[in-house]
Every structure is written in structure tokens, then in C-alpha cells.
């Protein structure tokens, strides 16, 4: 079955190398322009050095190393680029993550582990939403 693809720019912020590189590989094969970072600090550097400017989707783990989480990063990025959509991921159960990290119910969320098809579909849905 064909997975939905696109040509948008996606910034993946994920500290687990295997998860990040797999997600990046899947999205690149589907035609997306993918930027990667392992934590919020690196993500900020990537955003600031991204010359084309536009970042269509932030795909971020809710829980990141070095204190700043996905929610704070998303808030910062949305102030800079209001067009950026956000899709959070976590291996933790959804409710506990939302409560502890100040996420609103109804934010776009993808539970880990996810399949390539889950990732492709969710990314497309959030970008088009």
C-alpha cells in the first residue's frame, strides 16, 4: 500500500538515535525535506541555520534530555514560525505525558513505538490539518 508523502520540511527532535534516524529515513523516502536534532538546544541551532526558513512540521518527543521538553520547544518555534504544525511523540502513556508536560488534550500525538505507516499518515494529517 502506498504511504502518503509530501515535499514539506519536517524537523525531527528525538534523543533516541535509532528512532530519529528511522523516522528521518522513512520521511525522506516519502519526499520530505528532513532536519534532525537530538535535543531542544540543537533544534534551536538547526532552526536558526535553516536558510529556507520555513519549517512545516515539528515532530518532537515530549520528553527530551537537557531540561527543555518538546512543549517548550514547540512554543518557541511557533512564536518564530506561526505556520509550523506540531506532532508530539512519546513512549509513555498519553495521559501521564499530557499532565506532566502541560500538553493540551487534543494536540497531535503519535504513540511510540510507531510503524512507518502510522508515521506517514500522522505527519500528512497534521500538515494538512
pLDDT digits (tens, 9 = 90+) for 30-87: 999 999 999 999 999 999 998 777 899 999 999 998 878 999 999 999 998 889 999 9
| Residue 77, SS3 per DSSP | helix
Q: What is the pLDDT of residue 68?
A: 87
pLDDT at 104 over 90: no
pTM: 0.93
Output the nine-digit C-alpha cell for 69: 521538553
| Residue 60, SS3 per DSSP | strand
Query: Counting runs of H as helices and runs of E as strands, what totals does the chain give?
Result: 5, 5
Q: What is the mean pLDDT of residues 8-33?
A: 97
Distance CA 23, CA 17 (A): 10
With residue 2 as reference, give the H or E element that holds it: none
Distance CA 16, CA 129 (A): 27
Please, is 74 exposed, middle or buried when counting C-beta atoms within 10 Å of its C-beta (0-12, 13-18, 19+)?
buried
Q: What is the mean pLDDT of residues 16-28?
A: 97
Amino acid at each position: 500500500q502506498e504511504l502518503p508523502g509530501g515535499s514539506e520540511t519536517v524537523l525531527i527532535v528525538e534523543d533516541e538515535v535509532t528512532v530519529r534516524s528511522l523516522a528521518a529515513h522513512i520521511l525522506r523516502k516519502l519526499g520530505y525535506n528532513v532536519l534532525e536534532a537530538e535535543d531542544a538546544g540543537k533544534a534551536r541551532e538547526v532552526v536558526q541555520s535553516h536558510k529556507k526558513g520555513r519549517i512545516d512540521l515539528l515532530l518532537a518527543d515530549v520528553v527530551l534530555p537537557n531540561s527543555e521538553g518538546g512543549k517548550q520547544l514547540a512554543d518557541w518555534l511557533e512564536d518564530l514560525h506561526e505556520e509550523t504544525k506540531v506532532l508530539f511523540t512519546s513512549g509513555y502513556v498519553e495521559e501521564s505525558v499530557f499532565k506532566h508536560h502541560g500538553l493540551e488534550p487534543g494536540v497531535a500525538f503519535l504513540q511510540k513505538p510507531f510503524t512507518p505507516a502510522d508515521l506517514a499518515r500522522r505527519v500528512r494529517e497534521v500538515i494538512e490539518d
